[in-house]
């Protein structure tokens, strides 16, 4: 039976319509947000936490708000990042500099210090009840700013709040009225440990103040400070004469805050706080072009199997679908077409939300596949690995296009993609891509120069021999910068696995950042694998093998990684050097072991929090574990913290006692409103030491795999119809 | 949310080492390009807006036999012509030349795509039934949007429909004195008032609807059914 024209009706129809659309050169609808959203008016203080001027208040920022504050008064400069981790819990990281403060740790009279704070809201504000917050200031580390407080704030009239609190430690250095035990002075370990031995011990003093906001723009504040700046008076040049501080805040429409202060009778201060919230995007839902709608089959057409005997029908459907997917930034890498079922091997280069990619692919399938095909199976891939098989009925797509996205989710099945995935179309590989881009490399918190940077150009190339076998390289050429001026030399009691970074930075220009051959695979159901060999990262060459177990519907994954490494030459070209390193201070020689590796467990708690535990042997041969907790958002934002404790004694690790840091991932699509898979990750760790260090190899499996699995797809499913 | 915030977010991200200047690629957009477009839009307030002329309408009507409508973003005095590109049961999807679309049912907007802050879907059947019958009354109405965190936010409303006199709808091949109905909705989202002008058969020829905080008020007027 000859095929009727109607069987590829969808394809023809869409081409005709696309042509018609081209005639409508009448422009686009430009929608820009037109209304100032009611912004939170969190008042941040000089410490970058909710507060009055120098004192904290019991104000709490909206959930997930990130406030970045730069403040200065007198000789004190403080840069603080505060994240509202949960509606009641917040954490802050601060980097401060005190001028004219001469200690052994000071550089040119400037004392640099890192500090962490935690705040927890014990009581929310009620009709008569004030908000009550307990805070731990500078609770890890050397404790210059160390202090604890209990503070209450109550709005007593519209715009008028009253705050009163009790402070310990630094916050009890003026007019203490009582005492709760003795506050120890010695440092625990090498610093960097929670100062639990001091909490709520020693003198107690009272502080408080009022703030008045006649409108959402202005706030007037006055406070009585219980901080006498004892150390700053003794060592530095602080000469405050009054406990009273006065301030004025201005809030911009976007929530940012600019403040001016009169502090301690003798100083003036200023502060700028920028706020953003991962849950508020520039353009909610994004500005991506509209998808082509579902093309509903005419009644009765599904019974028409004429096309199955037409040898041109399958190739022409494939071409039409491939072109339609191309329009969406998607790629058809394979298609199995039978009378009732189509299985698409899909490569997604554009959408962070895999559900959006799958939704667009499904609609393109309704427009380009013969009417008898009722079951759509879409297999998203990453580096050639079939990540899942998302199975839908075409009739459901037709019926539910205008319903809540949850309706479609309820009718969508997720299974392992390993058995379903169609073979790759011939002619797609090998495939070469390249890019030339600027780069910036930063080094922060070195007391000699708190912010160092290199800038230059980075040339990358990727040769895909097959979907899962990739030769990848990256070369940088520095144009300007001062990273090579790092001169600090600290004694280490470990082989120098990371602390030679300055030497690598000095000599590596141009540098091959990595040059590797990587093979990704699916050894069995629920299992994913990676093998990478070559110049793995800036400092190490060798081989890295990884195996991940992650069932498609599971929130738990387990992984194992084993690495064989060899130290690269400082010039980061072709060559390796001896694994024996010499300590710059003691002259002791130690050898870096070749083998390191980890067992990892990943768990998505399902309430926005994600945990990861890595246990194993680190680069320096130390054994231990890293625990990481992230607050994750469906749009790709992540804010997390990690800590690594190994069998290296704190005194051998050096300053900081153990490795810890925070990390933030910002999806570019969130900021720009246009779909892209790019995510910028910044990790801030206080110090680079040799203990607890891991190999920095590209292409670790977990993040590639999980985005196409059911738990992640469920979170972003609202984007299926976007 | 403001242009400034958007520009700032872009600038913040732009300050990080991510800019790809050039290269070969497949499907992935060049971030530098996106960034410069976004910054341009933020600085200039978007491309220059020109109202649609009768000449443009005539040209559009002559180029196809499909239904055509005029869409206005009322809070931004921004207009575009849309062409019906697809229908699915009672739903019809109209699109601009630059791939932005509105889905209507009986002339009422039930969804948008590609405008930003899109109305993802809505439950409008009871409301539509009252309007098409030209009757007053009180009915439920539901709208769904995506949040900045890609979660679906559902707003549930109770809407009262009342007679609001007559209004002339003239444009394209349509010129009639229609009945106007005003709909006041209150519920879990911001309250709003929508208006609909229907012809004798109950078909909505012009709908003016509030489509969320981002899009504001949008009208769609049929130029040819």
B142/B36 same-domain check: no
Q: Which residues contact B180 (CB under 8 A, 6 or more apart)?
A: B163, B164, B165, B166, B167, B195, B196, B197
Question: Which residues lie below 8 Å from residue A617, measured CB to CB, with a gap of 6+?
Answer: A593, A595, A596, A597, A598, A623
- Chain B nearest-CA residue for A675: B29
Domains of chain A: 66-276 (2.40.160.40), 290-427 (3.30.300), 511-715 (2.40.160)
According to the model, what pLDDT value does residue B52 have?
84
Per-residue confidence at A91, pLDDT binned at 50, 70, 90? very high
Whether residue B216 lies within 8 A of chain A, CB to CB, comes out as yes
Are residues B173 and B68 both part of a single domain?
A: yes
- Tens digit of pLDDT for each residue in A597-646? 999 999 999 899 999 999 999 999 999 999 999 999 999 999 999 999 88
Using a pLDDT cut of 90, give the percent of chain A over it: 65
Residues B38 and B125 in one domain: no
| Residue A60 near residue A83, CB atoms below 8 Å | no
Q: Which of B36, B45, B99, B148 is nearest to A669 (CA)?
A: B148
Using a CB-CB cut-off of 8 Å, the residues of chain A touching B77 are none
pLDDT tens string A146-157: 999 999 999 999
* B85-101: average pLDDT: 92
Question: Within this chain, do residues B118 and B187 fall inside the same structural domain, yes or no?
Answer: yes
Answer whether B170's CB lies under 8 Å from B221's CB.
Answer: no
* Closest partner CB to A284 (pick from B35, B100, B117): B117
Query: CA–CA distance from A336 to each of A93, A425, B219 (Å)?
Result: 53, 10, 44
**Nearest-by-Cβ selection for B31 from A330, A668, A716:** A668
B4 contacts on A by Cβ (under 8 Å): 252-254
Q: What kind and span of H or E run contains A616?
A: strand A609-617
A694: pLDDT strictly greater than 80: yes
Enumerate the residues of chain B whose CB falls inside 8 A of the CB of residue A279: 147-149
Considering the domain architecture, whether residues B136 and B29 belong to the same structural domain is answered as no
For residue B83, which residues of chain A lie inside 8 Å, CB to CB? 20-21, 24
Asked whether B106 and B90 are in contact (CB, 8 A), the reply is yes
Closest CA to A74 of A49, A53, A99: A99
Q: Does residue B86 lie within any of the structural domains?
A: yes
Instruction: Flag whether B71 is in a domain.
Output: yes
**Measured between alpha carbons, how far is A215 from A620 in angstroms, rounded to an integer?**
57
Residue with tokens 């992935």: B28
Same domain? B23 vs B94: no
B189 falls within a domain: yes
**Higher pLDDT pick, A587 / A561:** A561
Q: Do the Cβ atoms of B86 and A276 come within 8 Å? A: no
Q: Quick check: is B95 in a domain?
A: yes
Count of domains in chain B? Answer: 2
B24 occurs within a structural domain: yes
CA A137/CA A527 separation, integer angstroms = 45
Cβ within 8 Å of residue A19, ≥6 positions away:
none
Q: Nearest C-alpha of chain A: how many angstroms from B165?
A: 30
Which of A148-157, A167-176, A445-454 is the least confident region?
A: A445-454
Residues B210 and B118 grouped into a single domain: yes
With an 8 Å Cβ cutoff, are B16 and A682 in contact?
yes
Calculate the average pLDDT of chain A: 88
Is the pLDDT confidence value at B7 over 50? no
Are residues B39 and B88 part of one domain?
A: no
A247-257 pLDDT tens trace: 999 999 888 99
Q: Of A4-13, A39-48, A436-445, where does mean pLDDT reach its minimum? A: A4-13
Backbone φ and ψ of B58, nearest 5°: -65, -45
φ, ψ of residue A237 to 5 degrees: the values are -115, 20
> Do B28 and B78 share a structural domain?
no
Q: B158 and B186 in contact (C-beta within 8 Å)?
A: yes
Q: Is residue B49 part of a domain?
A: no
pLDDT of B22: 64
178-197 of B, contacting A, C-beta below 8 A: none
Question: Across residues A49-61, what is the average pLDDT?
Answer: 95
CA distance A211 to A300: 72
Q: Is A234 exposed, middle or buried (0-12, 13-18, 19+ CB in 10 A)?
A: exposed
Average pLDDT over residues A274-286: 90
Within a domain: B39: yes
Strand-strand pairing, A341-348 and A375-382: parallel
Interface touch B3/A33, C-beta < 8 Å: yes
Residues B7 and B80 in one domain: no
Q: Which pLDDT tens digit goes with each residue over A659-671?
A: 888 889 999 888 8
**CATH number of the domain that B76 lies in?**
2.40.360.10
Task: Name which of A443, A445, A444, A448 is nearest A106 in CA terms.
Answer: A448
CA distance A294 to A399: 10
- High-pLDDT (> 70) share of chain A, %: 92
| Closest CA of chain A from B111, distance in Å | 8
Each residue's pLDDT tens digit, A366-382: 999 999 999 999 999 99
Write the residue in A17, A668, A676 that is nearest to B85 by C-beta: A17
Q: Kindly state the greatest CA–CA separation across chain A.
A: 100
Chain B contact for A330 (CB, 8 A cutoff): yes
Token pair of B93 as six digits:
């999807």
**Residue B18 lies in domain:** 3-44
Count other C-beta atoms under 10 Å from residue A553's C-beta. Answer: 14
| B16 CB within 8 Å of a chain A CB | yes
pLDDT band for A23, please (50, 70, 90 cuts).
very low
Shortest CA distance to A536 belongs to which of A503, A559, A565, A560?
A565
Is the pLDDT assigned to residue A546 strictly greater than 90? yes
Residue A188: its pLDDT value, please? 64
Per-residue pLDDT band at A189 (split at 50, 70, 90)? low
Query: Which of 17-36 (B) contact A at CB < 8 A?
Result: 17-29, 31, 34-35
Q: Measured between CB atoms, which of B93, B100, B149 is closest to A633?
A: B149
Task: Report the pLDDT averaged over residues A174-182.
Answer: 90
Cα–Cα nearest to A533, from A564, A511, A557, A510: A564
The per-residue pLDDT for A686 is 67
Taking chain A, what is the end-to-end CA distance rounded to the nearest angstrom? 39
How far apart CA B66 and CA B111 sit, in angstroms, is: 20
Same domain, B9 and B106: no
What per-residue confidence (pLDDT) applies to A28? 58
Residue B207 included in any domain: yes
Say whether B23 and A281 touch across the interface (CB within 8 A): no
Residue pLDDT, tens place only, B191-210:
999 999 999 999 999 999 99
What is residue A191's predicted lDDT score, i.e. its pLDDT?
Answer: 65
**Could you tell me the CA-to-CA distances from A415 to A524, A551, B182, B191 in Å, in that order?**
14, 9, 49, 43
Distance CA B139, CA A347 (A): 45
Q: Is the CB of A272 inside 8 Å of chain B's CB atoms?
A: no
Same domain, B89 and B133: yes
């Amino acid at each position: 039976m000859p095929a009727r024209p109607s069987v590829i009706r969808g394809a023809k129809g869409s081409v005709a319509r696309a042509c018609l659309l081209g005639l409508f050169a009448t422009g686009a609808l430009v929608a820009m947000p037109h209304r100032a959203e009611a912004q939170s008016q969190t008042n941040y203080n000089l410490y970058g936490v909710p507060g009055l001027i120098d004192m904290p208040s019991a104000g709490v920022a909206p959930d997930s708000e990130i406030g970045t504050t730069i403040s200065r008064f007198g000789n004190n400069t403080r840069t603080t990042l505060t994240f509202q981790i949960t509606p009641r819990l917040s954490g802050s990281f601060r980097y401060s500099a005190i001028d004219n403060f001469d200690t052994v740790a000071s550089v040119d009279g400037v004392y640099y210090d890192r500090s962490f704070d935690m705040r927890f809201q014990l009581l929310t504000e009620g009709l008569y009840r004030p908000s009550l917050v307990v805070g731990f200031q500078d609770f890890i580390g050397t404790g210059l700013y160390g202090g604890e407080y209990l503070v209450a704030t109550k709005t007593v009239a519209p715009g008028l709040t009253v705050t009163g609190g009790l402070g310990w430690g630094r916050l009890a250095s003026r007019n203490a009225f009582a005492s709760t035990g003795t506050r120890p002075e010695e440092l625990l370990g090498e610093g960097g440990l929670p100062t639990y031995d001091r909490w709520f011990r020693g003198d107690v003093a009272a502080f408080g103040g009022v703030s008045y906001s006649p409108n959402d723009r202005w706030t007037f504040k006055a406070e009585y400070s219980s901080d006498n700046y004892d150390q700053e008076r003794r060592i530095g040049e602080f000469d405050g004469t009054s406990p009273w501080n006065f301030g004025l805040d201005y809030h911009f429409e976007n929530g940012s805050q600019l403040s001016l202060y009169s502090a301690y009778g003798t100083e003036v201060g200023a502060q700028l706080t920028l706020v953003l919230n991962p849950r508020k995007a520039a353009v909610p839902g994004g500005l991506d072009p509209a998808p082509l709608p579902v093309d509903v089959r005419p009644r009765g057409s599904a019974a028409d199997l004429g096309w199955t005997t037409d040898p041109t029908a399958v190739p022409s459907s494939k071409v039409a679908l491939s072109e339609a997917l191309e329009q969406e930034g998607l790629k058809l890498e394979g298609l199995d077409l039978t009378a009732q079922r189509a299985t698409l091997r899909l490569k997604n280069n554009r959408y962070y939300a895999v559900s959006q990619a799958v939704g667009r692919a499904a609609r393109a399938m309704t427009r380009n596949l013969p009417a008898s095909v009722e079951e759509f199976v879409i297999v998203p891939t990453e580096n050639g690995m079939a990540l899942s098989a998302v199975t839908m009925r075409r009739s459901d797509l037709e019926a539910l296009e205008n319903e809540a996205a949850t309706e479609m989710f309820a009718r969508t099945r997720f299974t392992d993609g390993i058995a379903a995935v169609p073979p790759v179309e011939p002619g797609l590989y090998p495939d070469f891509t390249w890019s030339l881009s600027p780069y910036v490399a930063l080094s922060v918190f070195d007391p000699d120069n708190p912010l160092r940077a290199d800038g230059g150009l980075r040339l990358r190339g990727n040769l895909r021999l097959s979907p899962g076998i990739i030769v990848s390289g990256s070369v940088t050429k520095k144009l300007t910068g001062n990273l090579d001026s790092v001169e600090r030399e600290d004694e280490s009691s470990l082989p120098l696995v990371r602390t030679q970074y300055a030497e690598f930075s000095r000599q590596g220009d141009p540098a091959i950042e990595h040059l590797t051959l990587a093979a990704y695979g699916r050894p069995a159901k629920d299992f994913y694998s990676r093998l990478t060999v070559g110049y793995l990262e800036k400092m190490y060459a060798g081989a890295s093998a990884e195996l991940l177990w992650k069932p498609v519907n599971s929130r738990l994954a387990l992984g194992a990684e084993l690495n064989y490494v060899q130290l690269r030459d400082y010039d980061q070209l072709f060559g390796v050097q001896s694994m024996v390193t010499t300590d710059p201070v003691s002259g002791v020689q130690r050898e870096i072991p070749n083998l390191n590796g980890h067992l990892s467990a990943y768990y998505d708690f399902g309430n926005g929090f994600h945990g990861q535990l890595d246990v194993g042997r680190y680069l320096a041969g130390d054994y231990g574990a890293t625990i990481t907790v992230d607050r994750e958002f469906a749009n790709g934002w992540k804010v997390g913290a990690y800590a690594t404790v190994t069998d290296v004694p704190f005194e051998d690790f050096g300053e900081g006692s153990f490795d810890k840091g925070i990390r933030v991932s910002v999806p570019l699509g969130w900021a720009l409103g246009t779909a892209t898979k790019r995510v910028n990750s910044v990790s801030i760790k206080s110090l680079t030491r040799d203990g607890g260090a891991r190999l920095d190899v590209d292409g670790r499996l977990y993040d590639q795999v999980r985005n196409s699995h059911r738990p992640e797809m469920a979170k972003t499913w609202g984007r299926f119809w976007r | 949310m403001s242009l400034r915030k958007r520009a700032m977010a872009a600038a913040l991200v732009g300050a990080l080492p991510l800019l790809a200047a050039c290269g070969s690629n497949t499907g992935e957009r060049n971030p530098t390009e996106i960034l410069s477009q976004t910054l341009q839009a933020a600085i200039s307030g978007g491309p220059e807006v020109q109202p649609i002329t009768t000449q443009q309408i005539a040209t559009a009507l002559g180029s196809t036999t499909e239904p055509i409508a005029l869409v206005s973003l009322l809070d931004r005095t921004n207009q575009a012509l849309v062409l019906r590109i697809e229908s699915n049961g009672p739903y019809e999807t109209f699109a601009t030349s630059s791939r932005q679309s509105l889905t209507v049912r009986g002339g009422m907007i039930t969804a948008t795509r590609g405008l930003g802050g899109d109305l993802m879907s809505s439950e409008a059947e009871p409301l539509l039934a009252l309007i098409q019958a030209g009757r007053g009354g009180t009915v439920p109405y539901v709208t769904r949007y995506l949040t900045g965190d890609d979660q679906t936010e559902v707003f549930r409303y109770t809407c009262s429909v009342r007679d609001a006199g007559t209004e002339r709808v003239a444009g394209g091949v349509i010129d009639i004195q229609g009945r106007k109905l005003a709909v006041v909705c209150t519920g879990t989202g911001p309250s709003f008032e929508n208006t609909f002008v229907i012809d004798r058969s109950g078909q909505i020829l012009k709908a003016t609807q509030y489509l969320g905080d981002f899009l504001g008020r949008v009208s769609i007027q049929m130029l040819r059914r």
